[in-house]
């Protein structure tokens, strides 16, 4: 008979090894699918690795893709740390992108005639605020009425997408886009600079890295960070010790929503220049996977986001060379989440094989 026994102290080594073991296990499992698709497994993985990390261009593409993923990953990580299950980063990202264009777009040909030094912060603030406010409702419903935030945030994603669709076909539609549902373009001066010439890599990556560092420092060193960790780990004990549990969760909701909103604004300002309905291939949802892979550590989120982005980018180039559909990337990311959850559990528990339970005499 197999039994799980909780370790008194989760081993630190095991916690560190867990993500790598999970990734290795994932590649093992997905190699079966690659083989099934009729491709040589070794070559396919080599192509995947090369396409994601093998050249300066591949690396710039991966980091471009990682930028929004870092931000949505941070959004999920801080929320989950406080046990606020924000599944709505996707919607918050779109609303942030829309807010950025609303402030900084070339409405009527030119947009608001404000100095860039004023308009740029306004644009970022609008994006952060709209993401934050979108999560405020579910957070208040949760703390006041006990409404499950998983349901409300998830459903709000669809509401927001419909709202964005409405705006793209209505007030914010680009009249020069030949009927395509896309928003007006962001003012030239507001767009983020390129980090590397002739690549798509933009300074949004630096924003993401700085925010990751700030969030890590906040969780580790500040009183607010201690409150967030305490409330997430044991809300009753935190309330007994005098922490304002409801208020802490609202603060976390605002922070988490703001990070996802910023992801949208940075994506618009750094990469697309305007909002479309397909600007995010599920960055909000991938952020959850990334946060879990990183064990909710903000610095780990950066590494996990680069890993996931590399898989996504690498799978594209792999599928062009061998006959494996790009969907293998989604499978790899999903399996790695499951493997990570199991690995994290195994780091905290040990499996005990009990002899004799079924051995009746």
Partner 1 sequence: MTPAAAEASAVLSLRGITKRFGSLLANDSISLELGRGEVLALLGENGAGKSTLVSILFGHYVADEGEIEAFGEPLPPGNPKAALAAGIGMVHQHFTLADNLSVLDNVLLGTEPLWQPFSRRADARRRLVETGKRFGLGVAPDALIASLSVGERQRVEILKALFRGARILILDEPTAVLTPQESESLFATLQQLVVEGLSVIFISHKLDEVLRVSRRIAVLRAGRLVATLPAAEADKARLAELMVGRAVAPARRRAATPGEDTCVLQGASVTNGDGRKLLDAVNLELRAGEVVAIAGVSGNGQEALADILCGLRAPDAGRVRLGGRVLPASPQAWIAAGVARIPEDRHAVGVVGDLPLWENAVLERFATPAFATLGVVRRRAAQAHARNLIERYDVRGTGARGVETPTRALSGGNMQKLILGRALMGDPNAAAGPRLIVANQPTWGLDIGAVAYVHQQLLDACAAGAAVLLISEDLDEIFALADRIAVIHHGRLTEARPTAQWTLSAIGLAMTGGMRREASHAAA
Site for partner 1 (CB under 8 A): which residue of 141, 229, 246, 276? 229
Q: Tell me if 214 contacts partner 1 by CB under 8 A.
A: no
Subset of residues 321 to 350 that bind partner 1, contact rule: CB under 8 A: 350
SS3 at position 182: strand
Residues 6+ apart with CB under 8 A from 75: 86, 89, 92, 256, 257, 259, 260, 263, 287
Give the x/- contact pattern for partner 1 in 6-35, rule: CB under 8 A.
--xxx-------------------------
- Least distance CB 222 / partner 1 (angstroms): 5
CA end-to-end span of the chain: 16
Q: Tell me if 360 contacts partner 1 by CB under 8 A.
A: yes
Site for partner 1 (CB under 8 A): which residue of 213, 241, 247, 325? 241
Return the DSSP state at 349. Answer: E
SS3 at position 114: coil
- Least distance CB 227 / partner 1 (angstroms): 8
Q: Tell me if 110 contacts partner 1 by CB under 8 A.
A: no
CA distance 227 to 230: 5
Site for partner 1 (CB under 8 A): which residue of 240, 281, 320, 327? 240
Residue 100 has which token pair?
Answer: 């950025």
Size of the residue set binding partner 1 (CB under 8 A): 31
CB 259 within 8 A of CB 287: no
Q: Tell me if 43 contacts partner 1 by CB under 8 A.
A: no
Residues 6+ apart with CB under 8 A from 298: 74, 77, 78, 212, 213, 215, 216, 219
Site for partner 1 (CB under 8 A): which residue of 36, 146, 236, 353? 236
Residue 356 has which token pair?
Answer: 């004799």
- Least distance CB 43 / partner 1 (angstroms): 45
Angle at 65 between CA 136 and CA 42, to 5 degrees: 130
Q: Tell me if 238 contacts partner 1 by CB under 8 A.
A: yes
- Least distance CB 16 / partner 1 (angstroms): 15
CA distance 86 to 297: 16
Angle at 71 between CA 334 and CA 234, to 5 degrees: 80
Site for partner 1 (CB under 8 A): which residue of 11, 116, 176, 234? 234
Q: Tell me if 317 contacts partner 1 by CB under 8 A.
A: no
Q: Looking at beta carbons only, is 179 or 356 nearer to partner 1?
A: 356
Q: Looking at beta carbons only, is 110 or 223 nearer to partner 1?
A: 223
Stretch that binds partner 1, among 22-30, 240-248, 249-257, 301-309 (CB under 8 A): 240-248
Site for partner 1 (CB under 8 A): which residue of 151, 206, 237, 345? 237
Which among 252, 249, 282, 250 has a CA at the least distance from the CA of 89? 282
Which among 298, 344, 312, 300 has a CA at the least distance from the CA of 75? 298
Residues 6+ apart with CB under 8 A from 112: 103, 104, 119
Rg (CA), the chain: 22
Q: Tell me if 108 contacts partner 1 by CB under 8 A.
A: no
Stretch that binds partner 1, among 4-12, 49-57, 269-277, 293-301 (CB under 8 A): 4-12
Residue 137 has which token pair?
Answer: 């409702």
- Least distance CB 78 / partner 1 (angstroms): 16
CA distance 156 to 199: 34
Site for partner 1 (CB under 8 A): which residue of 29, 150, 167, 239? 239
Q: Tell me if 144 contacts partner 1 by CB under 8 A.
A: no
- Least distance CB 221 / partner 1 (angstroms): 6
Site for partner 1 (CB under 8 A): which residue of 223, 278, 351, 353? 223
CA distance 295 to 45: 26
**Which positions lie near partner 1, rule CB under 8 A?**
5, 8-10, 221-226, 229-230, 233-234, 236-242, 350, 352, 354-361
């Amino acid at each position: 008979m197999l039994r799980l026994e909780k370790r008194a102290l989760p081993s630190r080594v095991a916690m560190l090894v867990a993500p790598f073991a999970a990734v290795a296990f994932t590649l093992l499992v997905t190699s079966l699918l690659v083989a099934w698709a009729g491709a040589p497994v070794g070559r396919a993985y080599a192509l995947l690795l090369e396409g994601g990390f093998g050249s300066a261009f591949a690396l710039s593409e991966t980091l471009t893709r990682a930028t929004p993923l870092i931000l949505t990953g941070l959004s999920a990580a801080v929320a989950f740390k406080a046990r606020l299950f924000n599944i709505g980063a996707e919607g918050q990202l779109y609303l942030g992108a829309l807010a950025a264009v609303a402030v900084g777009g070339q409405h009527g040909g030119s947009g608001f005639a404000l100095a860039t030094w004023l308009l740029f912060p306004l644009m970022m603030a609008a994006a952060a605020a709209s993401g934050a406010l979108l999560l405020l409702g579910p957070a208040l419903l949760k703390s006041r009425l006990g409404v499950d935030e998983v349901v409300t945030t998830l459903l709000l994603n669809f509401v927001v997408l419909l709202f964005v669709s409405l705006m793209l076909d209505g007030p914010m539609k680009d009249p020069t886009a030949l009927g395509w549902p896309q928003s007006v373009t962001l003012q030239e001066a507001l767009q983020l600079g390129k980090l590397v010439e002739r690549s798509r890599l933009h300074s949004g990556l630096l924003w993401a890295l700085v925010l990751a560092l700030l969030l890590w420092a906040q969780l580790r060193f500040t009183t607010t960070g201690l409150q967030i960790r305490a409330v997430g780990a044991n809300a009753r004990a935190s309330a007994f010790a005098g922490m304002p549990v409801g208020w802490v969760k609202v603060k976390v909701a605002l922070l988490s929503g703001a990070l996802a909103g910023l992801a949208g604004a940075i994506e618009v300002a750094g990469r697309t220049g305007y909002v479309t309905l397909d600007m995010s291939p599920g960055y909000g949802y991938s952020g959850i996977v990334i946060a879990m892979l990183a064990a909710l550590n903000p610095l780990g989120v950066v590494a996990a986001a680069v890993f996931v982005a590399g898989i996504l980018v690498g799978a594209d180039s792999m599928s062009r060379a061998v006959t494996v559909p790009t969907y293998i990337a989604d499978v790899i990311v999903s399996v790695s989440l499951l493997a990570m959850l199991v690995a994290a559990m195994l780091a905290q528990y040990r499996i005990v094989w009990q002899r004799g339970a079924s051995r009746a005499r």
